[in-house]
Amino acid sequence: MQRTRAELEGMHHDELVTRVLELQDMLKEGLAVRDALHGVLNTLLNAKADEVASYADRDDGELDHDELELKHAWAAARHAVSNPLGLMHTRSEEER
């Protein structure tokens, strides 16, 4: 589905317009999915607010491996709800 610059430059105007409209539709669908997932995640965080807060308040040293993983998962979920783009940047930096 991706095209090189040379391929795009060689396309007729009508083809480019069709391609842009298809991409707009894909973007709208992706944003709708993101919004739905954001809502579900926010609902989950609200339902588990006490558990999320208890893990956030505890020091890493007093948690066993599974609890530490839960703490990090809840922190990532909170970060995703409050700042989705910030979480993406954090994840890409961790992968380097």
* pLDDT, tens only, 12-61: 999 999 999 999 999 999 999 988 998 999 899 999 999 999 999 999 99
- Listed by start position, the domains of the chain span 1-34, 48-96
Pick 39 or 83 by higher pLDDT: 39
Q: What is the pLDDT of residue 89?
A: 66
Query: For residue 8, what are the CA distances in angstroms to 11, 13, 16, 22?
Result: 5, 10, 7, 15
pTM for this structure?
A: 0.63
The C-alpha angle with vertex 96 and arms to 35 and 52, in degrees rounded to 5, equals 45
